[in-house]
């Protein structure tokens, strides 16, 4: 079920059978010469929407702007500061918790979000911890590439040139979902270099076309399809495991 396509009473009914919800979360940021700016929020959205076709799981609207300050040197990137990002995640969680959701899983599509999402979780839990009471909800972060079997598949598909930003795996996923928006461009070297991640001007100086360690030209829609199908399956399993995890209380 896609929450935005439901009525409130359909959600009320869903809460009668499950207290778990999945939030696709990503970023809108440059993805090199051929990657789409929306890649990082589209990937978890694509996977989550696929997953709910075959399982009774609930998918929230997509949290589409993340922590991408280091990409601001490239037009089209939109970022939240970590402090804003944390505040927004707190409001999303507090809204859902008010309705009785007890297990909230963020399916993440952007490595740069991880630290701020985890900081947000701690900010949320801290309210309960200072008050020495249970939080009433459990939070989980899953990167889509960490879902069961997905990393292995990507390694088989792209034994060289996968890299960590504008990777062929994420681009393949968007190629499968948006076949009319497959881009091509000349770039060199074939595999981009690596480096530390700091402010935007530093990033662009190190990575002139935006890639980090990747050869996005290896992506194909078919490889994307394989990744989505496996990840969707992995998400259903992750939701099931999270939903049935026993409480320590």
Greatest C-alpha distance within the chain: 58
**Does residue 189 interact with its own copies by CB under 8 A?**
no
**Does residue 153 interact with its own copies by CB under 8 A?**
no
Contacts of 117 (CB under 8 A, 6+ apart): 25, 85, 89, 106, 108, 141
State phi, psi for 7 to the nearest 5 degrees: -90, 165
Instruction: Write out the two tokens for 119.
Output: 């900081």
- For residue 168, how far is the Cα from the chain centroid? 16
Q: Which of 54, 56, 76, 146 binds its own copies (CB under 8 A)?
A: 76
User: Based on CB atoms, which residue is closest to its own copies, 65 or 232?
Assistant: 65
Q: Which of 148, 202, 225, 243 binds its own copies (CB under 8 A)?
A: 202
Instruction: Give the total of residues touching its own copies (CB under 8 A).
Output: 96
CB of 196 to its own copies, least distance (A): 7
Q: Which of 24, 44, 112, 234 binds its own copies (CB under 8 A)?
A: 112
Residues 211-240 that bind its own copies (CB under 8 A): none
**Does residue 6 interact with its own copies by CB under 8 A?**
yes
**Does residue 149 interact with its own copies by CB under 8 A?**
no
Sheet holding 138-143, edge to edge: 20-25, 103-108, 138-143
Q: How far apart are CA 28 and CA 76, in angstroms?
A: 8
Q: Which of 25, 41, 107, 233 binds its own copies (CB under 8 A)?
A: 41
Q: How far apart are CA 129 and CA 127, in angstroms?
A: 6
State phi, psi for 27 to the nearest 5 degrees: -160, 155
**Does residue 134 interact with its own copies by CB under 8 A?**
yes
86 CB-side CA count, 13 A: 14
The window from 46-54, 97-105, 144-152, 222-230 that contacts its own copies (CB under 8 A) reads 97-105
**Does residue 128 interact with its own copies by CB under 8 A?**
yes
- For residue 224, how far is the Cα from the chain centroid? 16
Q: Which of 131, 186, 189, 244 binds its own copies (CB under 8 A)?
A: 131
User: Based on CB atoms, which residue is closest to its own copies, 134 or 149?
Assistant: 134
CB of 75 to its own copies, least distance (A): 4
Q: Which of 18, 55, 102, 119 binds its own copies (CB under 8 A)?
A: 119
CB of 118 to its own copies, least distance (A): 4
> What is the sign, positive or negative, of the torsion defined by CA atoms of 83, 87, 89, 90?
positive
């Amino acid at each position: 079920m896609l929450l935005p396509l439901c009525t409130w009473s359909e959600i009320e009914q869903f809460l009668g059978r499950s207290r778990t919800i999945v939030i696709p979360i990503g970023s809108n940021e440059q993805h090199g010469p051929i990657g789409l700016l929306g890649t990082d929020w589209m990937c978890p959205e694509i996977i989550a929407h696929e997953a709910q076709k075959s399982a009774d799981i609930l998918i929230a609207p997509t949290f589409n702007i993340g922590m991408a300050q280091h990409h601001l040197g490239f037009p089209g990137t939109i970022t939240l500061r970590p402090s804003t990002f944390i505040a927004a995640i707190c409001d999303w969680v507090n809204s859902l918790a008010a309705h009785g959701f007890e297990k909230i899983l963020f399916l993440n599509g952007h490595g740069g979000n991880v630290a701020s999402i985890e900081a947000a979780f701690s900010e949320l839990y801290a309210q309960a911890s200072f008050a020495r009471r249970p939080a009433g909800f459990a939070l989980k972060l899953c990167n889509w590439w960490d879902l069961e079997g997905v990393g292995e598949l990507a390694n088989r598909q792209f034994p060289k040139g996968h890299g960590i930003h504008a990777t062929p795996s994420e681009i393949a996923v968007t190629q499968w979902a948006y076949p009319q928006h497959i881009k091509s461009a000349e770039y060199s070297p074939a595999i981009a270099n690596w480096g530390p991640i700091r402010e935007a001007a530093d990033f662009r100086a190190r990575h002139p076309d935006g890639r980090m360690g990747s050869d996005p030209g290896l992506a194909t829609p078919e490889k994307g399809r394989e990744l989505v199908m496996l990840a969707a399956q992995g998400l259903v399993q992750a939701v099931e495991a999270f939903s049935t995890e026993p409480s320590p209380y």
